[in-house]
Structure 1
Amino acid sequence: MSGFSPAFERLGAALAAVVLQQQETLAEFLPREDWSADLTARTYSSGGVTVQVALLGSYAARERTWLWGWANPQFGESHPAVEPTLAIRGLGARLGIPEFTTPEVDLSWYDGPAGHGGELLAMAAGGVLGGGGYIGAGYDGGSAYLHVDDPQAPPAPWDPVPVPRLLANAVSLFPRDPRLTLVRLLSRHRVGYRETEGGIDLDLPGGGTARAHFDGLGRFVQWQSELTPANL
């Protein structure tokens, strides 16, 4: 049984596929080699590429807790790397998402497909802020999570081919509402769709059609598509 609040699970479901797609785009842009970060200057450098970042929070592996940057005594909400992320806490207060307003979140209960529960908090937080994606920067005892808010980081382009994979992976992490997960990905790219009792029909940009099938419990079960040569 999930220890996340229903409000967090629904937000995660809405953002998961969008975030996963952006993470793949970020991985192609930003080499994961020896890295360095200067949070006062809000920079992260890896493989000769430097991007502007903000501090989301950190995950402590031994304690299995997530600590928001604004609650970390080493930083605080007025720190240059933390200030851009305070909108997450504000959204949590407005929507009743305790994971976004609790300074240190206990994730010891989590036993899901992600490496740890902190990864899901980073995903949701990064999705709220948009931008270029997020980075997990490991250190002794855990990982710090940085949000890339640099215009040089490219946005994920529309591509129909990986959609079923993105949807399946997103639903494995945030299974609450697979239809919402797909709809938000389509809306992100302004792809038209029609909802039916058993699925969602798409008219793909550039030609072609696709249909996502859902069972009686709302679970994603199948993807069918007919792509034109321009979409292959």
Structure 2
Amino acid sequence: MGLKEKRITEAFKSGYYETLLEKINMAAGFKVDMQVAWETLFEDRFMHLYNETYPKIYFQPLIEAFEAVSADELGKELMRKGLKSVVVKNTADHHNPEHAISFEKGILTIDHSPVINADKVQDRAEEIIMLLENGLEDMAEEQSGTISTGSYDHTDNPSLTFEELYNQFVALSYEKQLVFSELVGDRSWDFNMMQGTLTFGEYVFPMQILGTYSEKESSWMWAWANKQSGIPENLLQASDIMQKRGVAHAVEELTTASYKTDENMGHYLAQIAVGVTGASCYCPVNFKGIQVFVLINSEEVDAGRITDTALVTSHFTKTISALDCNHKQALYHYLKQKEFKVEFTGNNLIADRADDQVIGIFDLNERLLKVSGNKLTV
């Protein structure tokens, strides 16, 4: 690049390019990696036109296309994850968008003449939109793969994280908790360890003692490790089951007798325990800074289980609004627990049960974008 070309390039950069780049980043929703091979964009006969043709050929189509692709959250997420860089150059004087523009492995390349067909901005924008929409979706499917239904089934998995175990049961446990809360309301409670019951007014529930959380010491202790409290053996069955599950899947939180934790782990552990043991629900009982977490069996709570497809999807949206979890894993397991056959197509989920169908749409971080339940027409 000679002195004349350098001066023209610097004048365009300072007068136009910075503003165009700002618009490109705004349209994409993030800072785009732009690689412009300025030295290839010159033809001596047309240098006086570049302030007009550069924007039309290379940059305005990008702005229009990025605005279209990033019009919703899914598009923005795909752009952030899949668009690695934009390369602008001219190596073959292409002027047909189909030949001049390509998108491969996250790199969008515009290899176009700097002057020919400058006014066909819309044609180039439409080609970029088409390439990005197809290419970004393909990249997302490659990243996530076609997930077999077994990939979230951890029953026989020798290694399992606490979070994965929690995601299995969070929605089902929360459903049961809501039924239990509505059932007992604001009734006062009575805890009787010798009889193994927890009573709320006229409701007398048999219980299992899971463990205790000390607010003063910020620590959790499993009931199977609590030798000093004289807990009857018949009330330790649930905690023993949890310990065995922890050993089977190498989950440290389930096998460590007691440990310090600033956050009250009792709620997380009890939600898992409700699913693992098949209990109706759980309840924390307060004794002067000590919370005793118990599991309850109740025909009344079990009778309130959700079966209607519309209520299943509605409850799940309530769950992810109230509790932090992996949306994709949690919905998969919740639908399986509701006897749906669940399959994945790319990054999305389809579940069928008789003539009902549920569709879940997720972003690349496995957060739910939309869930819907429909009746299948035969």
TM-score interval, smaller chain: 0.7 to 0.9
Shift of 1:161: 3.2
Where does residue 223 of structure 2 map in the other structure? 69
Find out whether 1:158 has 2:307 as its counterpart: yes
Q: Tell me, yes or no, if the aligned pair for 1:66 and 1:104 is still in contact at 8 Å.
A: yes
Where does residue 283 of structure 2 map in the other structure? 135
Cα 1:41–1:136, aligned 2, differ >3 Å: closer, same or farther?
same
Where does residue 335 of structure 2 map in the other structure? 186
Q: TM-score, normalised by structure 2?
A: 0.52
Residues 45-100 of structure 1: per-residue CA shift (max 9 Å, x gap): 10211010010011111222111112223346763312343111011111101111
Q: Tell me, yes or no, if the aligned pair for 1:107 and 1:117 is still in contact at 8 Å.
A: yes
Say which structure, 1 or 2, has more relative contact order (CA 8 Å, 6+ apart): 1
List alignment gaps of at least 5 residues for structure 1: 111-115
Matches within 5 A, 1:113-124: 116-124=264-272
Structure 1 residue identity aligned to 2:296: V
Where does residue 107 of structure 1 map in the other structure? 261
Structure 2 residue identity aligned to 1:195: F
Where does residue 167 of structure 1 map in the other structure? 316
Residues 115-174 of structure 1: per-residue CA shift (max 9 Å, x gap): x33211221122211121111112210311110134554252313334445434545645
| CA distance, structure 2, for counterparts of residue 130 and residue 199 of structure 1 | 29
Cα 1:159–1:24, aligned 2, differ >3 Å: closer, same or farther?
farther
| CA distance, structure 1, for counterparts of residue 235 and residue 177 of structure 2 | 20
Q: TM-score, normalised by structure 1?
A: 0.81
Stretch moving more, 184-193 or 73-82: 73-82
Shift of 1:26: 2.3
Q: Tell me, yes or no, if the aligned pair for 2:197 and 2:206 is still in contact at 8 Å.
A: yes
Larger helix proportion of the pair: 2
Where does residue 201 of structure 1 map in the other structure? 350
Where does residue 15 of structure 1 map in the other structure? 169
| CA distance, structure 2, for counterparts of residue 169 and residue 117 of structure 1 | 21
Root-mean-square deviation over aligned CA pairs = 2.6
Q: Among 229, 239, 249, which residue is 1:85 paired with?
A: 239
Stretch moving more, 210-219 or 148-157: 148-157
List alignment gaps of at least 5 residues for structure 2: 1-158
Where does residue 178 of structure 2 map in the other structure? 24
Q: Tell me, yes or no, if the aligned pair for 2:266 and 2:293 is still in contact at 8 Å.
A: no
| CA distance, structure 2, for counterparts of residue 178 and residue 76 of structure 1 | 40
| CA distance, structure 2, for counterparts of residue 46 and residue 25 of structure 1 | 14
| CA distance, structure 1, for counterparts of residue 309 and residue 259 of structure 2 | 36
Residues 163-200 of structure 1: per-residue CA shift (max 9 Å, x gap): 4454345456453x422211211111212333211311
| CA distance, structure 1, for counterparts of residue 276 and residue 324 of structure 2 | 15
Could you tell me the percent identity over the aligned residues?
Answer: 20
| CA distance, structure 1, for counterparts of residue 188 and residue 280 of structure 2 | 20
| CA distance, structure 1, for counterparts of residue 217 and residue 318 of structure 2 | 27
Where does residue 113 of structure 1 map in the other structure? none
Q: For 2:286, what is the secondary structure of its paired residue? A: strand
| CA distance, structure 2, for counterparts of residue 62 and residue 174 of structure 1 | 25
Q: Among 160, 164, 188, which residue is 1:34 paired with?
A: 188
May I ask how many residue pairs the two structures share in their alignment? 216
Cα 1:161–1:136, aligned 2, differ >3 Å: closer, same or farther?
farther
Q: Tell me, yes or no, if the aligned pair for 2:361 and 2:368 is still in contact at 8 Å.
A: yes
Cα 1:227–1:136, aligned 2, differ >3 Å: closer, same or farther?
farther
Stretch moving more, 124-133 or 218-227: 218-227
| CA distance, structure 2, for counterparts of residue 127 and residue 64 of structure 1 | 25
Q: Tell me, yes or no, if the aligned pair for 1:192 and 1:204 is still in contact at 8 Å.
A: yes
- Which one has the largest radius of gyration? 2
